[in-house]
Each structure stands twice: as structure tokens, then as C-alpha cells.
Amino acid sequence: SDKQKEDLGMSTADAEAGGEVQITHPERVVFPKQKLRKGDVADYYQRMARWILPEIAGRPLSLLRCPDGVGKACFFQKHHGPGLGDAVHAVPLQQKSGREDYVYIDDTRGLLQLVQMNTLELHPWGATVADPEHPDRLVFDLDPGEGVSWAQVKAGARDVRDRLQQVGLKSFVRLSGGKGVHVVVPLQPKAGWDEAKAFCEAFAQAMALEQPDRYVATMSKAKRGGVIFIDWLRNTRGATSVCSWSLRARDSAGVAVPLRWEELARVSAADAFPMAKALARAKRLKGDPWQGIARLKQTLPRMDL
Ligand code: ATP
Ligand code: MN
Ligand code: MN
């Protein structure tokens, strides 16, 4: 019974399918600075499931797990293993070393079982389990160097959007919940990873070539201060980006929040939405800030950027 579980220091969260997922040690502190506990994290993901699942269901995932909370050791996990829960599935994917089982979920129950295993951040592939060799999402990850202002980051995101528009691609924006923003391009899964990667690299390099005082397209130059690294390397096979509405395992506890482009102007930082603010935003939302993303039918342009 619930009373017995309380006595054992457990709480339960009703999942839509398959009954409840037991969250052990809900009292355990996960974000010390914000005084948020494992139970708060479980409540958050339960309440946000309807927004998060369309972003991650049926996609290979990297999980950032933090068994001792934020500020202590966290680790990325992409492989399936025992003890993850009955709604956490395995998909065999070909790697250099052979086939390896990757993690994916389909539903709220799976999401909460990941939370039970102390997952804080969810990082999907830009491709689905059903068609892992053909990306259906590209991510341009804008990483501001030292001394780059938030206004410059926002201008950079709009610059990426406008340039994408010029080659016929509509894009969507999200705060990373950390320092930068992600510009996301939905694609019909037609091109392979090599083609997607080549497009993204050429796109980033074109930006860096035209405005070298603002942008760099190589990791080595990214360390140079004052410029934004257009990180196109998220768009390689096996790479991931944090999903919209994921919590971030950082001191500021920002959430990776998707925005309408018009909203970007009013936002003051990439980590402007800690858990409570993200929940409030989700509650207020009338529709998906990325309205129409699932219906867009676009493909990579020819490579003469
Ligand atoms: P920020 O705005 O602070 O840059 P971010 O989420 O974009 O936040 P990055 O460091 O730019 O963080 O990383 C981009 C993405 O690369 C991450 O969201 C994550 O999916 C992936 N990533 C980064 N480091 C690792 C890692 N060690 N293992 C697996 N994936 C990683
Ligand atoms: Mn980034
Ligand atoms: Mn990056």
C-alpha cells in the first residue's frame, strides 16, 4: 500500500501504462543549491512527459546519470544493461566493434524508470530506432566562447535561422539550459549521416568564413575567446544533443526549453528556466512552441552553399 511505501521511504508515480513506477529515496537531494530532491525530479518528468516523449520516444538515448546528485560524479550511459526497468528497451545498433545494445523508451513508464535510475539529462539521437541510419533532426549547437554576450548568442541563433531559411530549411530554437542555444532542423529521413554531417560542416564553415570575428567552426579555434563555436559535430552518427525539456545537471539547474522564435528576444539567459519556471511555462503553453515541426517535409539542399 501507499502507507507501507511511505514507511519504506518510497514514493510512487503513476505511469500511463503498466501501473506505477517505484521511486526509491525520493527524499535524496539531487540539486543541493535549489534543494530539489529525487522526488521533485520524478514529479517534474511525470508532469512533463507529454512534452518530452515526442522528443525522445523511439530514439536511441544517452542518459546522464547522477547517483549522488549534481556536483558529484555523473556519467553518460548509452548502452542498455540489466536493472534499467521493463519499459526501458534495447535496440541493437552496428558499431565498429560489432552490434551494441542502445537504450530507448516509448512511454512515461520508461521515462520514470530512467529517473528511478538517477537519470537527470536525456540526450536523443537525431534519428529513430526505426531508421537509425537516416537523421530526421539536425542540431546546430551554438557554444559561446569566453566574453560572448547573451545578445550575441541570440543574434547568432537568428543568423543560423536566416541562413537555413535561405537554403529552404525551417528551423526551431531552444535554450540549452546551460550557456548556449540549439537551432534544430527537422528533416525527412532520407539522407544518410555522412551527407548530413557534410552539410552541417559546410554550413558552419561558410558562416565562420564570412564572419570570422563572430563564428568559428572548428573545436580547436573554439577556445579562442569572443567567438561562437557553431558546433556541427552533434550531427554525426552516434552523437546526441540534450532534448527539449530535459533538466540539466548543472548548478544553475536550467531546463533545455524550446521557444518560439519571437520569444527569444525576451529571454535573458540560456539557463533562464530552472525547474519551477519550466513547469510554469509548460502549464501556460497553449500549443507546442515548435508547432508544425512534425508535419514539415523538408530535405537537405544541394551542397552549393
Ligand atoms: P551548453 O549550452 O552549455 O553548450 P550543451 O547541452 O549544448 O550546453 P555541449 O557541451 O555543447 O552542451 O554539448 C552538446 C551535446 O553534446 C550535449 O547536449 C550532449 O548530448 C553531447 N555531449 C557532450 N559531452 C558528452 C559526453 N561526454 N558524452 C556524451 N555526449 C556528450
Ligand atoms: Mn552547446
Ligand atoms: Mn557543443
61 Cβ inside 6 Å of ligand 1: no
The pLDDT, as a whole number, for residue 224 is 81
Question: How far is ligand 3, taken at its centre, from the CA of residue 143, in Å?
Answer: 6
Spell out, as residue ranges, where the chain has pLDDT lower than 70: 1-18, 303-305
The pLDDT, as a whole number, for residue 11 is 55
Three-state DSSP state, 21: strand
What is this model's ipTM? 0.91
Contact 299, 167 (CB under 8 A): no
The pLDDT, as a whole number, for residue 289 is 98
Interatomic CA distance for residues 196 and 173, integer angstroms: 19
Atom of ligand 1 minimally distant from the CA of 180: 2
Q: In angstroms, what is the C-alpha Rg of the chain?
A: 19
The pLDDT, as a whole number, for residue 6 is 46
Three-state DSSP state, 120: strand
Q: Whose CA is nearest to atom 17 of ligand 1?
A: 241
Three-state DSSP state, 91: strand
145 Cβ inside 6 Å of ligand 1: no
Interatomic CA distance for residues 25 and 153, integer angstroms: 39
Closest ligand to residue 240's CA: 1
226 Cβ inside 6 Å of ligand 1: no
The pLDDT, as a whole number, for residue 302 is 79
In DSSP notation, 245-284 reads T-B--STT-BB--EE-GGGGGG---TT--BHHHHHHHHHH
**CA atoms within 13 A of residue 8's CA, in its CB half-sphere:** 11
242 Cβ inside 6 Å of ligand 1: yes
Q: 12 φ, ψ to 5°? A: -125, 150
